[in-house]
Amino acid sequence: MLVKNRLQYNAYQNAYYHANTEKCAAHGARWSRLNRVKVNAARYISEAKCKERVLTYYGDGVLACLRCGFSDMDCLSIDHINGRGRKHIEEIGGGTFLYHWLENNGLPKGYQTLCMNCNWKKRVTNNECKRGVGNAITSTSIQ
């Protein structure tokens, strides 16, 4: 096909795809298998961007812990303000599923960005530990 401009080319590609959906899907699947490194790198970047957007949103527009200001994204997490985070994560899946879930559900209220230390400290202070209320081992309980 002689391509005269980008719009014409896009229309041709679109029509070809819809006329050959199975063939294109098979080609795409084969390409993905043969280019696993590129696919994984693109997925990693996409998931990192999603995580950054969500953490920034729940950090009131800043990619940092709301309590202490720590800003290393690798150490930031989403905190369920009213607790019950473990149960929620077990329901939707771990890893990056929470970030995608939050975006896909319109970034609902009830979450905040905390660093792992502040998140853990809040969990202990509020007795949200798995062992139940009053069973947390804290720095004051061993003195």
User: Interface with Zn ion by CB under 5 A: which residues?
Assistant: 65, 67-68, 70, 115, 118
Residue 125: CB minimum distance to Zn ion, A: 13
**Minimum CB distance to Zn ion smaller for 71 or for 127:** 71
Beta carbon of residue 73, minimum distance to Zn ion (angstroms, whole number):
13
Tokens of 51: 């995580």
Q: What is the 3-state secondary structure (H, E, C) of the chain?
A: CCCCCHHHHHHHHHHHHHHCHHHHHHHHHHHHHHCHHHHHHHHHHHHHHHHHHHHHHHCCCCCCCCCCCCCCHHHEEEEECCCCHHHHHHHHCCCCHHHHHHHHCCCCCCEEEEEHHHHHHHHHHCCCCCCCCCCCCCCCCCC
Q: In whole angstroms, how close is the CB of 118 to Zn ion at the nearest point?
A: 3
Between 53 and 67, whose beta carbon lies closer to Zn ion? 67
Task: Between 42 and 73, name the residue whose CB sits nearer to Zn ion.
Answer: 73
Kindly state the smallest distance separating residue 59's Cβ from Zn ion, in Å: 10
- Considering just the CA atoms, what is the radius of gyration of the chain in Å? 22
Closest contact distance (angstroms) between CB of 68 and Zn ion is 3
Residue with smaller CB distance to Zn ion, 78 or 118: 118
Closer Cβ to Zn ion, 100 or 122, answer by number? 122
